[in-house]
Amino acid sequence: MKNKIVVALDVSTFDQAKKLIDELTGHVGVFKVGKQLFTRLGPTIVEYIKKQGGQVFLDLKFHDIPNTVRGACHAAGDLDVDFLTIHTMGGFEMMRAARQGVIDSGNEKTKVLGVTILTSINQDVLREDLNLKVPLGEQVLHLAKLAQMAGIQGVVASPKEITLIREHTEKDFLIVTPGIRPTWYQKDDQKRTMTPKDAIEAGADYIVIGRPITMAHEPKQAAMDVAKEGK
């Protein structure tokens, strides 16, 4: 179970990240490097995680014209990250270009994942703010199927849509699920959440957890508790 846990390193400094990486290595499978940390530290933090033997989830959510995304994904492949993210709302050609960028790098290990609908977005936000009138689940499934057609290896999706995606995509299509909240953690700003156990049973390949582990008094113990709960 521990290899399915992706810890979000949503911290500001190298020292903060290093402390978490050192403590959690061996107790989680993957470390997620997002915009905040990568903007501050760049490839340095990726290189440190790899040096410690960890896997890297580079969560920069590329969303641009196809040629620009292709170049960015080529660069991520050169960094030897294990996973990288793009926005599926960029469309089919952009997603196909993202996959080609990784191929151009010669690093077939790097997997491209498409972000469908952010877990902070619910049906009201989708309809009123984004002016999308379709049901949220229908939009997520459409984007997931489009991503699969474009040749990328999986999606990032709310736990509430795991079963729907799993039923309509290939067995090896990866589902990475944020919005995971252990039973012992109070809910916060994410609207579509699920426990580790329920997410894994629904078919998630990886679960992303940030604050319940990184802000715990004892992060290693919290990671062990999540792994135990997810079995």
- pLDDT for residue 189: 52
Which listed residue (19, 50, 61, 191) is catalytic?
A: 61
Domains and CATH numbers, the chain: 2-230 (3.20.20.70)
- Quick one: residue 26, left, alpha or beta (phi over 0 = left, psi -120 to 50 = alpha)? left
Q: Does the annotation count 231 as an active-site position?
A: no
Return the residue matching tokens 């999308």. 132
- Give the pTM: 0.92
| Contact partners, residue 23, CB within 8 Å, separation at least 6 | 219, 220
What pLDDT tens digit does each residue of the chain (231 aa) get? 899 999 999 999 999 999 999 999 999 999 999 999 999 999 999 999 999 999 999 999 999 999 999 999 999 999 999 999 999 999 999 999 999 999 999 998 999 999 998 878 889 999 999 999 999 999 999 999 999 999 999 999 888 899 999 999 999 999 999 988 888 776 555 555 789 999 999 999 999 999 999 999 999 999 999 998 767
